[in-house]
Amino acid sequence: MGLLDGKVALVTGAGRGQGRSHALRLAAEGADVIAVDIAANDVETITYPLAGEDDLDATVKDVERMGRRAVKAVADVRSLSELQRAADAGLSELGQIDIVCANAGIGSWAVSWEMTEQQWKDMIDINLTGVFNTVRATLPSMVERGEGGSVVLTSSTAGLRAYANTAHYTAAKHGVIGLMKVLAQEAGPHRIRVNAVCPTTVRTPLVINDSTFELFAPHLENPTEDDVREPFESLNILPGVAWIEPGDVSDAVVFLCSDAARFITGIALPIDAGNIVK
């Protein structure tokens, strides 16, 4: 018996990273999955490759190997109409949505007064408006069905504090927490709980990429992951933690979606090795 037997979860950014990890952990606990991803390198201000359709296919296949049903949906979270089609496809095949993980996101770096208009726009459109679009496309069916549910929004420790070179990212992640608090109030009477997870740095391509290495080790030629461990470790209280793994966040997501958290709503849960209190 899994913690989420009989549930259906929609996960954005499911092609890789945190989204893929969440999709597989939810499936391992018994949930069927609607796996949503842009599955294309379609964001001009991002310097690292995004997940491709092969990545999304791999997520779907792994969910199915666990004996769970999976619906693949290629959609850009910047488009409400595309997300609505993804949700409708999942509802048509699986009959319901009980869990929503609005996870899709991007990362980039720039000093505020050097940031381009497009950098700001891409970040807000994906990391904040994309979260709104995800819940806008899914909550109506959950409310109408009347069986409650759980919504988990992916924020960040940057939603609870500030970091230099991330004005756009920090603004978006603070916005996600504000959105979560309103949704918790509005959806609560329908027995739908809404929470946010706030990870410290997670070891995914969003952070582990050449742009990050060059920012944190500008004195080196072709810096690597090992060259930036120390500055990332300095952000956290627990020793030796430069970044956490996607599965560490997935554990929190599963908890928030399960009956073990049935009275928890409206919280921003840090998974941060002590980052926000340092």
State the catalytic residues. Answer: 169
Task: Tell me how crowded residue 216 is: count the other CB atoms within 10 A of its CB.
Answer: 17
Task: Tell me how crowded residue 84 is: count the other CB atoms within 10 A of its CB.
Answer: 16
**N residues, the chain:** 278
CA distances from 273 to 48, 68, 195, 198, 242 (A): 26, 33, 19, 11, 9
Q: Which residues pair with 203 in a beta bridge?
A: none
- By CB atoms closer than 10 A (0-12, 13-18, 19+), residue 47 is middle
In the sheet that holds 8-12, the strands lie side by side as 70-74, 32-37, 8-12, 99-102, 149-154, 192-199, 268-271
Instruction: Output phi, psi for 169, to 5 deg.
Output: -65, -45
Of 6, 26, 9, the C-alpha closest to 247 is: 26
